[in-house]
Amino acid sequence: MLDELGVKSCHVIAHSFGARIAIRLAIVDDRVKRLVITGGAGLKPRRTIKYYSKVYLYKLLKFLKLKRLTKNFGSRDYKSLSPIMKESFVKIVNEHLDKEVRLIQNETLVIHGEKDTETPLYMAKKFKKLIKNSRLKVLKGCSHFAFVDDSFDFNLLVDSFLSGE
């Protein structure tokens, strides 16, 4: 796509799922100069016993052909998808890029909402730890959509970072 647009150099700002794409792009394309990740997805999440219990209960109900009892399982995003899109969604969210993230050489700013429940703050800290040349800024009181919740501070951070300050 960058070739088609004639892009010689760019910065990339990625939110949530977009971080997965930005990570891969930054690793293989030296036209990407600086990277901003906000509410970034793609790292292996921490899993609890509660999570695994739900997964195995879901699989058991499915195996027993009690499909009507599985309707309340899954995230809001998952529930809204068609059956074929659900298959793609499951593959995507179960792909973890922890090893790839370590390969990023770009200067990276990770901006994260303090109250993000979609991609919790520990994930932002993990991005910061895995990306050698990165910094983390946490926006107090903000959710997964920190760029909406506090657009003023978000834009100041991004503008300062991209201008090299």
The pLDDT score that the predictor gives to residue 131 is: 97
- Tell me the per-residue pLDDT of 45-89, one tens digit each, with 9 for 90 and over: 988 898 889 888 888 888 888 877 877 777 778 888 898 998 888
d(CA 165, CA 159): 9
CA distance linking residue 17 with residue 93, whole number of Å: 9
CATH architecture of the domain with residue range 2-44+96-162: 3-Layer(aba) Sandwich (3.40)
> Is the pLDDT assigned to residue 21 strictly greater than 90?
yes
The predicted-structure confidence for 108-124, as pLDDT tens digits, reads as follows 999 999 999 999 999 99
Domain positions in the chain: 2-44+96-162, 49-93
